[in-house]
Copies of this chain bind each other. A is one copy, B any other.
Amino acid sequence: MINVAILGYGVIGSGTYKVITQNQDIVKGNAGDAVQVKAVLDLREFPGSPVEDILTHDFNDILNDDEIDIVVEVMGGTGAAYKFVKASLEAGKSVVTSNKALVAAYGPELIRIAREKNINFMFEASVGGGIPIIRPLISCITADEILEITGILNGTTNFILTDMYEEGSEFEPVLKQAQANGFAEADPTADIEGHDACRKIAILTALAEGQFVDFEDIPCRGITGISAEDIAYAKALGKKIKLLASTRYSGGNIYSEVSPCMIDSSNPLYAVDGVMNAVLVKGNMLGDIMFYGAGAGSLPTASAVVSDIVACCRHMHENIPVRMDPEKLTVHDPAELKDRYFIRVSADADIASKVPCECEITIPDAEGEKAVITKAIAGAELKDLEGIISCIKVR
C-alpha cells in the first residue's frame, strides 16, 4: 500500500482523489501496489465529502507521517506551496505537482533536492494539463536536435480566440461569456496576458536544454489587443489567430516568446480549437510531431497527476534523472529573427514603400483601412512605422 497526501482540495485536488479512487484497479496494476489517499490538506472544511475524515488543516500532520510516501501539491502559487514541497522532499517524500508557477520559479532547486534524496519531483500536469509532454520530451525525443517547440498552452485564450473566430465577436463579450461558463477565471489576467503560457514554455525550454529558463526573460504578449477585425482579416487570408508560446533555435541561439500569431491550415496547430491544447516539437530528424489533448480541466489534469504518482511508485527510492541546471539560460528576443508580419494601416498609408510586402488585402468588415503581409523581416524593422492599427506575427 502506497500512501498519498493531497495538498489542496480544489479543482485538481478533488479530481486527483477521484482518479485514484475510481480507477484504483488500473492504478494498482500500473503502480505495482495499491495507492490510497491518506490525508488531504485544505484550510476549508468539506462536510459530507469523501475526504471529510482524512482532512487536515496542519501540514505537519502530513510531513511527520512516515507512512505518507508521496505528496501531491495542487494548491498553486509559490508561497506555502513552495515551503510544503521543499519540506516534503527534504523529508524524503516524492512530490507530484501541477503547479507551473512553482516549477517555473523553483524547478532547479526542487529537482536537485529530489536527486540528492534519491526520490522524485514530478510535474507532468504543470504543462498541457492531461497531455503527456514532459515525459515524452525527456524520455522519447532523445535522438534529435530540437529545432522548435511551439504550443497552444492556454485553454482559456484558445477558447476565446476560437469563439471570436466562429462568432465574429469582439474580445470583451467573449471573455465575459467564458467567465460565465467557467472557462475563464474571475481574474483572467494570467491567462489573457499570456503569463500562464509563458511559464509553461519556460518549463518546456528548460527541460529541452537541461537548464533553468527565467520566464521573465521571455517577451510575452497576450490576446487582449486582438479585435474582431484582426480575426476577420485572418479568416479572409485562410488563417487563424492562435496564442503561441514558442521557442526556436537559430544560429546557436535560443529565441522564446509568447505572442498571438496567424497560422494557416498547413500548420498542425491550426485545427487545435476551443479549450484544447497542443505542443508541436520539430526535430532535425523527426520533423514535426504534435501532442494534443485537454490542456486543463479537473480530470484530465488529475490523470496526469496520477500518472506521475504511478511513476513515483514504480521508482520509489530511485531518482529518475531530470536535468535543469540552476544557471540561467540566455533567451534571445525573437524580434532578432526574420518573420513575416500582418500589419493593418489606414487605406491611404504607403506601407509598401517602407517594408517589403508579400500581399495587400482589404475586407468589407474594415472600411477605410487595408492590411499587408510583409516578407520575412526582423521585428526591429517595424519600430519606426507609424499609423499601425495592429501588427500580428505570421508563422
Give residues in A with beta carbon < 8 Å to B.
Answer: 15, 18-19, 22-23, 26-27, 30-31, 124, 130-132, 135-136, 139-145, 265, 268, 270-271, 283-294, 297, 299-300, 302-307, 309-311
Contact = CB atoms under 8 A, between A and B. Distances in A.
B270 A299 contact: no
A23 B132 contact: no
Give the one of A23, A130, A131 with max B CB within 10 A: A130
30 contacts: A18-B285, A19-B143, A23-B145, A23-B285, A26-B144, A27-B143, A30-B142, A132-B141, A136-B136, A136-B140, A139-B139, A139-B311, A141-B307, A142-B306, A142-B310, A142-B311, A143-B305, A268-B292, A271-B271, A283-B303, A285-B299, A285-B306, A286-B294, A286-B299, A286-B303, A287-B300, A289-B292, A289-B294, A290-B292, A292-B292
A297 to B, nearest CB: 8
Contacts of A271: 265, 268, 270-271
Contacts of A297: 287
A308 to B, nearest CB: 9
A90 to B, nearest CB: 27
B30 A143 contact: yes
A135 B140 contact: yes
Contacts of A144: 23, 26, 303
Contact of A23 (B30, B284, B305): B284
A16 to B, nearest CB: 9
Given A136-B135, A268-B292, A143 B286 contact: no
A270 B270 CA distance: 12
Query: Within the oligomer, what is the number of copies of this chain?
Result: 2
Contact of A291 (B23, B139, B291, B299): B291
Contact of A286 (B27, B31, B130): B130
A164 B141 CA distance: 33
B306 A143 contact: yes
Contacts of A284: 22-23
Contacts of A131: 289
B299 A288 contact: no
Nearest to A144: B303
B293 A290 contact: yes
A339 B286 CA distance: 36
A291 to B, nearest CB: 6
Contacts of A136: 132, 135-136, 140
A30 B145 CA distance: 11
A307 B143 contact: yes
B307 A142 contact: yes
Contacts of A132: 136, 140-141, 289
A286 B300 contact: yes
Given A23-B143, A131-B289, 15 more contacts: A23-B145, A130-B287, A135-B136, A139-B311, A142-B310, A265-B271, A268-B292, A283-B303, A285-B302, A287-B293, A287-B300, A289-B292, A290-B291, A291-B292, A292-B292
